[in-house]
Amino acid sequence: MIGILDYGLGNIKAFANIYKSLNMDYKFISKVEDFDNVTKIILPGVGSFDYAMNRLNNSGLREKLDETVLNKKIPILGICVGLQMLAKTSEEGQEKGLCWIDANVKKFKDDILPLPHMGWNNIEIKKQNELLNNLDNNSEFYFLHSYYFETDESNVLAKAEYINQFDCIINYENIYGIQCHPEKSHHFGIQLLKNFGEL
């Protein structure tokens, strides 16, 4: 059962529609008891880092989420700002992240290319993983962000390039994250979400 975290951020219906089309069981998690029987978790996120962290911390779900991910080792996929929330800090704000991964979020710095980085971009796979089954370096994903995730190379599954090369798909133990929007990335994104559901 795939649990889609509903804390007031992200297009949760888009993920539900994809999993429905794949005939994979899902439910929304908006209260603590909704974690029951969940075997995977989607952590969506849009907007600013501090706003997203405050919404999650004030949702009543944070303690149960920590327990489920860190103690029960249920796989979780952070998406866009949901990925950035996995880190310790972000240059975008003052709030502390989830601190599940030794990582920080940094702002792209450039005077020529516009921000945010918006549009389609190829990924460069650095490490094979079940999350990337049937995907390759020709796979294109839709990005919309001005900040990027930076972690140890051992945690990096794929990178992309805009201004500089940056970590765009990561994995540490049962924790996964992706900077782009798989729910907007057509068949490539559907494949990735299917792979996550099948982990």
Respond yes or no: is residue 183 known to be catalytic.
yes
Q: Are 140 and 152 in contact (CB under 8 A)?
A: no
For residue 191, give both structure tokens: 């494949």
Is-catalytic flag, 168? no
Q: Which of 130, 173, 183, 198 does the annotation list as catalytic?
A: 183
Q: Which of 92, 181, 187, 198 is catalytic?
A: 181
For the question of residue 80 being annotated catalytic, the response is yes
Asked whether the beta carbons of 76 and 101 are under 8 A apart, the reply is no
Question: What's the 3-state SS for 9-71?
Answer: CCCHHHHHHHHHHCCCCEEEECCHHHHCCCCEEEECCCCCHHHHHHHHHCCCCHHHHHHHHHH
Active-site annotation holder among 80, 145, 168, 180: 80
Catalytic residues: 80, 181, 183
